[in-house]
Structure 1
Amino acid sequence: MSLRSDRIHALISAQERDPFSVLGVHPVEKNFVARSFFPDAISVDAFTLKGESIGQLTQIHESGLFEGTVSLKKLEPIRYIARYENGEKYEIADAYSFGPVLGPMDDYFVSEGSHLRMFDKMGAHVIEHEGVWGVHFAVWAPNARRVSVVGDFNYWDNRRHQMRNRVDTGIWEIFIPDVGAGTAYKYEIIGVDGQTLPMKADPFAYRSELRPATASIVEGPSQREWSDEAHREFWANADARRQPISIYEVHPGSWKKNGSDFLSWDEMAEQLIPYVLDMGFTHIEFLPISEFPYDPSWGYQTTGLYAPTARFGEPEGFARFVEGAHKVGISVLIDWVPAHFPTDSHGLSRFDGTALYEHEDPRKGFHPDWNTAIFNFGRKEVVSYLVNNALFWAERYHVDGLRVDAVASMLYLDYSREQGEWIPNEFGGRENLEAVDFLKRMNKELYGRHPGVLTMAEESTSWPKVSHPVHEGGLGFGFKWNMGFMNDTLRYLARDAVHRSHHHNEITFGLMYAFTENFVLPLSHDEVVHGKGSLLNKMSGDDWQKFATLRAYYAFMWGYPGKKLLFMGQEFAQRDEWSEARSLDWHLLEYGPHQNVQKLVRDLNHLYTSEPALHARDCEGEGFEWVLVDAHEDSVFAWQRKAPDAAPFVIISHFTPLKRDGYRIKLPHAGKWKEALNTDADYYGGSGVGNLGQIETDQDGFVNLNIPPLGTLILKLES
């Protein structure tokens, strides 16, 4: 009946590869024998789950290994009461007397790489199993010799809960009864070489400890009954390309602070949602909110893709934020980082002692720019992990979209690499065909299961059809960031006004490709960090000219085809470069020039969202027509925005500090045009040059306009 000494040694040294064959209840001849491991216990009694005594176990090794015959008629889970010399007793159901939770169909779909509910199966889940409540733990570590789950519930003792290996999939699992939500845990893994690895956080954890602590935390089932059906149904049935989308990009840790502390999700809901609603933005986009260890990475080096960071409170707080935003018609996007991950020892890096989530060869598995590991997109389990994560955020938290970071770094094998530092694909090219397939699959699965969700690619090259459907040869994204627009226009406006006439094409060139993709025009966080300064300080000239140019630029952009994105603080002309370590400079709103920029952005948003001509054909050439494209000597640009059954608009932008009175121009329609917005109006702190609110053309459409210095006019056809 007793164990061989080598099995005992393997068990008590946490080296046992098949602990379920040793511990738990086992048939021996016509009886059942129970074995348990309780270090320092002096006695162990066994009971049925109903509390009936079924025998006492005898200590067979001084380490705390007990064994004994139990009076059972069939295999079933049992409970123990262990007693200690100090008089304490410890009661727990025997994890090793329970059968597996995962089944053969899970094995099949995992092995095939087609399991789309892995976030329900992997990680830590509070469940009822064989009549007992507890937590099911499951982790993928196919090359491990042994995996133990350790935590508060077992005194972080790697001997107590060595896991069951599902050999066909490389998944290790165990159901631990009497454990509940809020429990901290990690996995301790012995690698293929026999070395014990640093303890690992759970790749599928729904919750994590607050940094610098790195353990995962068991999160209970969500009890939320969502009440955002109207919001989700609207977007599921809408053509997003023809809806107004104006995005307020937010770093949640520094939008505002509560003293030196972060705002909680509930505090952000109370302050950020009403602010965004008042400002007229339609979407909030958060920089990555999944768990990450290092504040200055802004979340772009994540160690917990399934866990909202603990910096802002419990995960349910984020769900409440999303629901609160949806109730007032605001969508919530999150930045998503499937390109790479940090090499922190508790994270995914060499998870089971091998390059599991990353490539073994650093030419494909290491990113030289960020000192991070690159996901192995050629491994079906890794692709499944990432695709499931995209689905998870849409399902569990009802997020309205993912802005996918660093797509260009995924698409090209030679990204930021010199000759000889990268491996060509099977056809000798530089395209990462595995990453391409992953992105296509992710978009197909996400749009197929959550049709109201948007995906947006941060892609800085001319890769074709990024935002075209997969069945048409595209990558399947809904939108693509227009990095060219941002680079060209900011370069143009940084020039002294006297030189702009020589660089007129920096503004006009963008319309050569403006409708090849579904574009978002991004003035993002990337433009106001790393010594680049704020948008205000990018504008050339003295302080008055900087403010005037910024106002003219914003109206230019809101009138330009494409969806809009503005990073927080730029809506009131933040002066200093953004830092994640401090709050935005809200005190600037005590001063008129900053108030005026904020008023302008608010008015631009409300005009843009209320007028179909300004948004309904953002992504289609039929909604745009040049009115004046070659006035380079005057640095004047004019174009028409239009949509079916909507009054057309003409936008006229002028980027020199000269006042141009009686400027003759032919508008696309004869009649009366209302001055819907003038960035040089007194109301916005301008010089007041305008056209008394309205103009009227002659019968051929010609008119003599007063065009303000460093200003943009937005005209609406009245009759």
Structure 2
Amino acid sequence: MAKTSSALVAGSDAETIVAGTHGDPFAVLGPHGDKIVAFQPHAARVWATGAAGEVELARIHPHGLFAAKVPQALAGDYRLRLETADGQDLVVEDPYRFPPVLGELDIHLLVEGNHLRTFEKMGSHCVTVDGVAGVQFAVWAPNARRVSVVGDFNGWDGRRHPMRKRVEAGVWEIFIPGLGNGTVYKYELIGPHGNLLPLKADPYGHYAEVPPKTASIVWELAERDWQDGDWMERRHSRNDRHAPVSIYEVHLGSWRRVPDEDSRSLTYLELADQLSEYVRDLGFTHVELLPVNEHPFSGSWGYQPVGLFAPTSRFGNPEEFRAFVERMHQNGVGVLIDWVAGHFPTDSHGLAQFDGTCLYEHEDPRLGFHKDWNTLIYNYGRREVQNYLVANAVYWVEQYHIDGLRVDAVASMLYLDYSREEGEWIPNCYGGRENLAAIDFLRRMNEVVFGEHPGATTIAEESTAWPMVSRPVYLGGLGFGFKWNMGWMNDTLRYISKEPIHRRYHHDDLTFGLLYAFHENFVLPLSHDEVVHGKGSLLARMPGDDWQRFANLRAYFAFMWTHPGKKLLFMGCEFAQGREWNCEESLDWHLLEYTPHQGVQRLIRDLNHLYRVEPCFYELDTDPHGFSWIDCNDRDNSVLTYLRRAKVQDDIAVVACSFTPVVREGYRVGVPYPGFYHEVLNTDSEWYGGGNVHNGGGHQAEEVPWHGHPYSLNLTLPPLAVVVFKRER
């Protein structure tokens, strides 16, 4: 016979267990010496059953708390047999008989902030414990009074599976037998003041419900037999600053849609086939994906992520996203992702006030709130938060074979007064505006990524003159592999948008960038930001009639591809989409039925080919020895001429850019070496939709000194065009 309730469970413990407010449920539930306590509110009767026998547990609380004295052997190995109110007979495992989920080393590294693979322990994971299959859960919530796992499996009842608190790390954990991949769940927390918080998605969840639903889904990333070994072995050379890097920026949801199926987006597997073939055909070396992390609001394009460890379920499951990356690699295309570590949204199911306190964010809005985006700023000075973000960077590179992280909005992280007026920010400990904790975080993240996976890279979207962004940490830099050149983008777009008759007065907009072009490892970006928010498309920003607009755009692209720096172009720009990008609609693929749009696409294909096969256009992209002006001062004619060089110094190309709608005959350009110079690209070619003013295939250098060189070429410059000549070696 069972003992009385007072002898088995203290009255206060019994009341708080059934109320779901007990802060240490493992101290009450499960086996304790020679007794077993179980909370089964849906059961009429409960037995402990095992090889050592079977003992019925007495109901010691009317709301479903059962307990009994049992033999020691039974307490060590048992299941619970339940008789439900409707007469069902069930045998279930008791989660409270299993040991802790996290080992002592895990706890030590979490407390220290040096657990680089927290994603292997935190969140949800399918495991087998003592021969029993189930899912282990672990979540950081140090200030919560109680944390439970809830889902369909327990009727979303937070009293059923309260977790064990590892006080030393502030982590709550539990192993729940019988669950597996596909289990939908959230965390239910009671905050430090005893209030029930909104249900929270798992910060480490690998998968999530399709928005607008917000729950996490158990998804164990199994060992994968990756079929991209050739790419992975050589990717260090594909991401190197001496390699050709030409990036096609993509929003997966709107690149191409299926009109016959209610204009739905493509799946990861469909994109694996279609996007990889398209990008390979056009000659881009990489794709860069707007954030693929799970995000509740599609209109944010992913830049307000909630599931930092989950590829969005809009297009498929995590294994299918892995297959997408694998197919890209098999087609010779690297995969970069936009990574948002600067802020997170205020959605109630996300990180905001996660345990009832400002856990991931700063408490003071002068440090922790972005007015521009209505988002919260990570508290980089908290080691657990920094560890969370650094481990996330490792996760994408390691678990998904991502080739690089383009870190969004770095300037907003570096400056405490970013987009703030006087009195709206707090200086650092030295009285300055630099965010010292964020600087430390970025340096550590880069050191870890490059240290753990030397073939990968990182790219900073940084819009200020912060020095040494793409220089190693040991030299005092931030440690990024590359930096977006926002100055070049702004200056050149401003220039090319002006009527040609006025360009002579703005000539410096094209040349100024060469004053600092080699201070960083630059990427020249024409990104999604340039074709949204009323800016219109790139084509729409070109002046003149239709012929001139297309000619201007072609010349601008050729100037970009022959200019020092890696390249990035947003989708749709490669065929001159006429309207502004809309994330809810497909690109205007029908435009490729028309010759001018076909011509721009052909030009991009040829530019990528030229860029990849001619070392003079990429080997010294970040080295001043790879570029020299021939003449940067011909503002009256709006003409620029320059040389590009490979590591072998006589491997050169001559570039002449003419930005007025005038044919210029007999335009002499100095060159350093004799020989024949082939015209290898002409944006005025009829193949691209131009007027076909050309140089008859090329010119022999004449021994006529010009522009400080002993030889020169007598060229014909087409209108609104760029011509490229490659010296025959």
Instruction: Please give the TM-score of this superposition, normalised by the length of structure 1.
Output: 0.98
Deviation digits for residues 561-606 of structure 1, max 9, x if unmatched? 0000000000000000001010000000010000000000001001
Match of 1:582 in 2: 585
Residue 36 in structure 1 maps to residue 41 in structure 2? no
Counterpart in the other structure of 1:513: 516
The equivalent of 2:141 in structure 1 is 141
8 A Cα contact 1:205 1:218, kept in partner = yes
Give 3-state SS (helix, strand or coil) of 1:149's partner: strand
Distance 2:223 2:642 in 1: 52
Kept in 2, the 8 Å contact 1:77–1:98? The answer is no
Task: Compute the displacement of 1:77 (Å).
Answer: 4.5
Distance 1:351 1:77 in 2: 36
Give the C-alpha shift of residue 223 in structure 1. 3.7
Alpha-carbon shift at residue 342 of structure 1 (Å): 0.2
Equivalent AA in structure 2 for residue 703 of structure 1: L
Kindly indicate whether the alpha-carbon contact (under 8 Å) linking 2:52 and 2:74 is maintained by their aligned counterparts in 1.
no
Aligned-partner Cα distance in 2 for 1:702–1:114 = 61
Contact 1:549 1:711 in 2 (8 A): yes
CA contact (8 A) 1:671 1:699 kept: no
- Secondary structure of the corresponding residue to residue 549 of structure 2: helix
The structural deviation recorded for 1:262 is 1.6
Q: Which residue of 2 aligns with 1:231?
A: 231
Contact 2:239–2:245 (CA<8 Å) still a contact in 1? no
Q: 2:195 — aligned with what?
A: 195
- Indicate which of 15, 19, 27 corresponds to 1:13: 19
Task: Using the TM superposition, name which of 543-552 and 128-137 deviates more.
Answer: 128-137
Deviation at 1:668, TM superposition (A): 2.7
1:678 matches 2:666:
no
SS class of match (2:72): coil
RMSD value, Cα: 1.2
Aligned to 1:64: 64
Secondary structure at the aligned position of 2:634 is classed as coil
In structure 2, the partner of 1:528 is 531
Amino acid at match of 2:666: G
* 3-state SS in 2 of match to 1:553: helix
Match of residue 546 from structure 1: 549
Q: Aligned match of 1:648 in 643, 652, 672?
A: 652
Take 1:251 and 1:362, find their aligned partners in 2: how far apart are those partners? 32
Deviation of 1:557 after TM superposition, in Å, equals 0.5
Partner of 1:695: 699
Deviation at 1:52, TM superposition (A): 5.8
Aligned-pair CA distance for 1:9: 1.2
- Per the TM alignment, residue 57 of structure 1 is displaced from its structure 2 partner at its CA by 1.2
Whether 2:720 is the aligned partner of 1:710: answer yes
1:128: Cα distance to partner?
A: 1.0
The residue type paired with residue 570 of structure 1 is C
Residue 572 in structure 1 maps to residue 575 in structure 2: yes
Alpha-carbon distance in structure 2 between the residues aligned to 1:76 and 1:210: 42
Equivalent residue number for residue 663 of structure 1: 667
State the Cα distance separating 1:5 from its structure 2 match: 2.1
- 1:685 maps to amino acid: G
Partner secondary structure for residue 73 of structure 2: coil
Instruction: Provide the rounded CA distance (Å) in 2 between the counterparts of 1:650 and 1:566.
Output: 24
1:609-620 equivalences under 5 Å are: 609-620=612-623
Q: 8 Å contact 1:359–1:365 — kept in the other structure?
A: yes
* Pair 1:576–1:237, CA change in 2 (3 A): closer
Alpha-carbon displacement from aligned partner over 1:395-452 (angstroms, at most 9, x marks no partner):
1100000000000000000000000000000110000010000000000000000001
Mapped partners of 1:487, 1:138: distance in 2: 46
What is the one-letter code of the residue matched to 2:720? L
CA distance in 2, matches of 1:420, 1:686: 56
Distance 1:238 1:686, change over 3 A: closer
Check the 8 A contact 1:54/1:72 in 2, yes or no: no
Correspondence list, 1:91-490, <5 A = 91-236=91-236, 240-259=240-259, 260-490=263-493
Supply the distance in 2 between the matched residues of 1:678 and 1:347 (Cα, whole angstroms).
52
Looking at structure 2, the residues matched to 250 and 637 of structure 1 have their Cα atoms a distance apart, in angstroms, of: 32
CA distance in 2, matches of 1:131, 1:47: 17
Matched residues in 1 for 2:238 and 2:213: separation? 43
Q: Secondary structure at the match of 1:499?
A: helix
Does structure 2 conserve the Cα–Cα contact (< 8 Å) formed by 1:613 and 1:648? yes
Alpha-carbon deviation of 1:69? 2.4
Deviates more, 1:287-296 or 1:257-266: 257-266
Moved more, 95-104 or 337-346: 95-104
Percent sequence identity over aligned pairs: 56
What is the CA distance between 1:239 and its match in structure 2? 6.8
Displacement, 1:357? 0.1
Match of residue 707 from structure 2: none
The one-letter code of the counterpart of 1:172 is W
The question of whether the paired residues in 2 share the 8 Å contact of 1:56 and 1:70 is answered with no
- Residue 131 (structure 1) shift: 2.0
Structure 2: tracts of 5 or more residues without a match: 1-6, 705-710
CA distance in 2 between counterparts of 1:396 and 1:185 reads 22
- The answer to whether the Cα contact below 8 Å between 1:236 and 1:450 also exists between their aligned partners in 2 is no
| SS of 2:556 mapped into structure 1 | helix
**Maintained 8 Å contact 1:26/1:33:** yes
Q: Which amino acid letter does the alignment assign opposite residue 160 of structure 1?
A: R
Aligned residue pairs total: 713
C-alpha displacement at 1:650, in angstroms? 1.0
In the alignment, is the contact (CA less than 8 A) between 2:459 and 2:483 conserved in 1? Answer: yes
How many angstroms does 1:237 deviate by? 5.5
In structure 2, what residue type is equivalent to 1:298? W
Verify the 8 A CA contact 2:619 2:646 in the aligned structure 1.
yes
Q: CA deviation at 1:75?
A: 5.2
| C-alpha displacement of 1:317 | 0.6
Q: Which secondary structure state, in structure 2, belongs to the residue aligned with residue 137 of structure 1?
A: strand
**In structure 2, distance between residues paired with 1:705 and 1:76:** 91
- Aligned-partner Cα distance in 2 for 1:512–1:167: 56
- The 5 A counterparts of 1:47-58 are 47-48=49-50, 53-58=53-58
CA distance in structure 1 between the partners assigned to 2:157 and 2:9 by the alignment:
22
Q: Please give the secondary structure, in 1, of the residue aligned with 2:376.
A: strand
Question: Residues 213 and 492 from structure 1, CA distance in 2 versus in 1: closer, same or farther, beyond 3 angstroms?
Answer: same
Q: 1:189-228 deviations in whole A, cap 9, x for unaligned?
A: 1111111100000000000000011000000242411122
Deviation at 1:268, TM superposition (A): 0.4
Q: Deviations over 1:479-526 (max 9, x none)?
A: 000001100000001111001001110000000000000000000000
AA at the equivalent of 1:249: E
**CA distance in structure 2 between the partners assigned to 1:552 and 1:403 by the alignment:** 27
Residue deviations 1:271-302 (CA, integer Å, cap 9, x gap): 10000000000001000000000010000000
Give, in angstroms, the shift of residue 79 of structure 1. Answer: 1.2
Q: Which residue type is aligned with residue 726 of structure 2?
A: K
Task: Tell me which amino acid in the other structure corresponds to 1:460.
Answer: S
Do the aligned residues in 1 keep the contact of 2:201 with 2:214 (CA within 8 Å)?
yes
Contact 1:126-1:221 within 8 A present in 2 as well: no
How far is the alpha carbon of 1:61 from its aligned partner? 1.4
For 2:548, the aligned partner's letter is: Q
Question: Retained in 1: the 8 A contact 2:500–2:659?
Answer: yes
Structure 1 Cα separation of the partners of residues 586 and 564 of structure 2: 32
**Is residue 2 of structure 1 aligned with residue 4 of structure 2?**
no
Identify if the C-alpha distance between structure 1 residues 651 and 35 changes in structure 2 by more than 3 Å, giving closer, same or farther.
same
What TM-score, normalized by structure 2, do the two folds share?
Answer: 0.97
Q: Deviations over 1:310-347 (max 9, x none)?
A: 10011111100111111121100000000000000000
Aligned equivalents of 1:77 and 1:264: distance in 2? 46
5+ residue gaps in structure 1? none
User: 1:605-643: CA deviations, max 9, x gaps?
Assistant: 011011111111111001001011100000000111111
Deviation, structure 1 residue 543 = 1.1
- Mapped to 1, the partners of 2:37 and 2:604 lie a distance apart of 70
Q: Is the 8 A contact 1:657 1:710 kept in 2?
A: yes
SS in 2 for 1:207: coil
Contact 1:146/1:189, CA 8 A, preserved across alignment = yes
The range that moved more, 86-95 or 182-191, is 86-95
